[in-house]
A and B are shown apart, each in its own frame.
Chain A
Amino acid sequence: MIVFEGVTKRFGAWTAVDNLSLTVAAGEFRVLIGPSGSGKSTVLRMMNRLIAPDAGTIRVEGEDIARLKPETLRRRMGYVIQNIGLFPHWTVERNIAAVPELLGWPRARVRDRVTELLALLNLDPERYRGAYPHELSGGQQQRVGVARALAAEPHILLMDEPFSALDPITRGALQAEMAAIHKATGTTVVFVTHDMDEALALASRIAVLDRGRLVQTGTPLDILTDPADDRVRDLVGREDWGLKRLAVETVAERMRPGETAPGDPLAAGAPLRQALAEMVARGTDRLPVVDGRGRPAGALHLADLLRGPDRA
C-alpha cells in the first residue's frame, strides 16, 4: 500500500504536485493519467525517491520512505521507464539479474529466476539469455525491461509510460501480458500513461491528475459514466465514449444465463466492445457465450448492450 499525505513538489516557481493525498491499495492496478505537465510522472518518481517532495509524507507498506535508504526502497520496487534504459554492455541475463545481484541472491536462484521471467515475458530463454540489448527489437527490449523490474519479486511495480514508444501491435501485446502478470502475481502496479484507452484496459482504479492536483479517482467504469468535470470528459473523449464504455465491461456482466444462441460462441470474459464487433461482423443481434472452460453459459443480446451499467 502506498499513501500520499499532503504531498507538494515545486520546481522553481512551478508547482508540479500540489498538496496531493492519494492511496494506492495493495494488489491494485492503479493508473495515473493526465495531460503532460499534470505531475503524474513526478508523483511516480516520488514513490521511489528519485524525486524528493518539498512537503507532505509518503508511506509505503506503512513506512515513511523519507526514513529509508533510497537504494533499499528502490530494490523493493520494480521500475520500468518509457526509454527502457537497458544496460547496453550487459547481456539480457545480466540485465534481468541486476536487482537480485544487488540483493546478493545465490547464483543458481538468479539463473532460475531469469529463465522463469524470460518465459513469462514470451522470450525464449535459450535464445535471448546471452543476447545484448542492441540485438533486440524495441518490444523485446521493453519485455526485458519489465522482466528486470519483476526480477526480485517486488511487491510494488512502478511503470512510467512503459509502452508509449512502441508500435500499436506490440503495445497491445505487452498490455495483455501486463494484465496477465498482474493477475498472476498480485503485485501492486502504479502505471503512468496519457492514453485513456490504455488506462481503461489495464486499470483496476484510475487517478486523474491535472496541474498537480487529483481531479478524480475511481474504477474505469466510474470515470466513464460519472466524469467529475469537463477535463475528465475531455480525457475520456466525447466521440467514441460509447465504445470506450463497452470496452470496460465484460460479456458476463450483461449476458442472459441459461439461454442459447446459434453460431460460434464468445468467451464470458471478453469485453462487450468485442461482442458488439462480432454482432456487426456476423450481422446478428444474438451471440452464444461460453465460460472459462468452454461450457455454454448463456446468450448475449444486442439490447443488453444498450442498457446502462448494472449498479449493484
Chain B
Amino acid sequence: MTRVRLIHNRVALLLAVVTVAAALALPFLAFAPNRLLSGKAIALSGVAGAGGNAAALLPFALLLAGPFLRASRAVNVLYVGAGVLAAAGLVWLAGQHAALLAATASPAARTSFGAGFWMMEAAALLAVLDGVRRLGLGPAGRVAVGALVAALIGGQFAAGHLDQLSIMKEYANQRDVFAGAVLRHAALVAAALAPTLLIGVPLGIAAQRSPAVGRLVFPVLNVVQTIPSIALFGLLLAPLSALAAAFPGLGIGGVGPVPAVIALTLYSLLPIARNTAAGLAGVPEPVREAARGIGMTPRQVFWRVEAPLALPVFLSGLRITLVQAVGLAAVAALIGAGGLGAIMFQGLFANALDLVLLGAVPVILLAVAADAALKLASALALSRLGRTAA
C-alpha cells in the first residue's frame, strides 16, 4: 500500500501555521490617540473586513496552500509571486486602514504596525526566500526578486499611500534630517572602508606569505573583534581626547565621527585581512609555479594570477565587513557620530518606537543592499572560474 504524501513542503507548512496564528491571535495594527500612549489593538479581521480590502490578502491563500502542492517549477514561480504580492499587499492594507482611521481622528493620532503585521510580513518574505531557493535562481535572479519587492513597497511610499502610518508621520517630522542621516551613515561606512582596505589587504597578503606575520596579526585582530563596540568607543575616548587637546588644529576629538571611523576600521580589519589571506592561500601551488616558471615577474604573478583568483573570497570578506560596519555605525551615534543611529536613539530616549523603526529599517535595507551587491559581484567573479557560488 502506498501512503499518500500530504505535506510536500515543510518550510511552507511552518510559514502557513505562523501566518494563520498571527492573523488570528495577534493585533495587526495599533491605534493610539498620540505617539506616547500605547495603542488599542486592531485585529486583522477588523482591517480586512472594512471596505472590501480582503482582496489584498488573496495571495496568502496560495501561501497557505503551498505546503500541500507537489513541487514543480510552475508551483514555485506561483509561490514566489504570491509571497511578493502578499508582502506588498499587507503593507498596502496597513496604509489603507491607517488612512481610513485618520479621516475621523485627530492629527496627533497614530496607527502603528502590530505584532501580527510583523509576523505575517516576515512569513511572506521568508516564503519568497524559500521559493527563490527552490527555483534555484542565480544571484542576478535573487536581486531581481528583491528589487521587485522593494519597488512594490517603495511605490506605495512614493505615492503617499502610507502617509497616515505612524512611521511615516515620524518620517514627516524628521524629513529635514532623514536624508542627511542616511548619507552620514553611508559616509561613516565608506570613510572606514578606505583605511580598512589600505591596512587590511597588505596585512592579509603579508600574513599569507609569512606564517609568522599571520600568527602575530590574527590573534590581535580576533581580540579586537571580541571587544563590545561601546567599550571600544570608550577605550578610544581617552587617547583621542588627549590627542585633540595636544593638537587642537587636527579637528579630531574623543567623540564625533573620527573615533567612530577608527572603531569601524578596527572591526573591519579582521574579515578583510583574513579573507585576503584565505583567498591567496586558495591559489593552487602549481598555478603559482607555472606563472613563475613561464617568466612572470613577482608583480605580474600577483596582479595577473593571484589577485584575480583570490577575488571571490576577498569579495565575500568585503561583504561581511560592509554588513557589519553598517550595523556598527548605528551604535556610533552614541558618541555623536550621527547617522541613522541618531534617529534610533532619539526614538529610544523618547519612547517613540516608530521613530526607532524609522532609524532601524533603513539600516537593515542598507545592509541587505550591500550584501546583495557584493554577492552579485562575488558570483560574477566566481562564474569566470567555473565554480558556483557557495
Query: A: which residues have CB within 8 A of B?
Result: 48, 50, 70-75, 79, 81-89, 98-99, 102, 132-135, 145, 148-149, 158
Contacts and interface: CB of A to CB of B under 8 A. Distances in A.
Nearest to A145: B290
A102 B299 CA distance: 13
A109 B384 CA distance: 26
A135 B386 contact: yes
Contacts of A148: 294
A262 B374 CA distance: 75
Contacts of B293: 48, 50, 74, 79, 81, 85, 158
The range of chain B's interface size is: 20 to 34
B294 A74 contact: yes
B297 interface: yes
Nearest to B290: A85
Given A79-B294, A81-B290, A85-B287, 5 more contacts: A72-B295, A85-B284, A85-B289, A87-B304, A132-B384
Given A102-B300, A134-B386, A135-B386, A86 B287 contact: yes
Nearest to B283: A88
22 contacts: A50-B289, A50-B292, A50-B293, A71-B295, A79-B290, A79-B294, A81-B293, A83-B285, A85-B289, A85-B290, A85-B291, A86-B287, A86-B290, A87-B287, A89-B308, A89-B309, A99-B294, A99-B295, A134-B385, A134-B386, A149-B294, A158-B293
B309 to A, nearest CB: 6
B383 to A, nearest CB: 10
B294 A88 contact: no
Secondary structure of the B contact surface, majority rule? helix
A134 B287 CA distance: 13
A46 B283 CA distance: 24
The 7 A-B residue pairs whose C-beta atoms are closest, nearest first, are A85-B290, A83-B286, A74-B295, A75-B295, A85-B286, A79-B293, A134-B386
B283 to A, nearest CB: 9
B108 interface: no
A81 B286 contact: yes
A75 B300 CA distance: 13
A87 B300 contact: no
B7 interface: no
A132 B290 contact: no
* Residue from B286, B290, B291, B300 having most chain A Cβ neighbours under 10 A: B290
Contacts of A134: 385-386
Contacts of A88: 284, 287, 309, 385-386
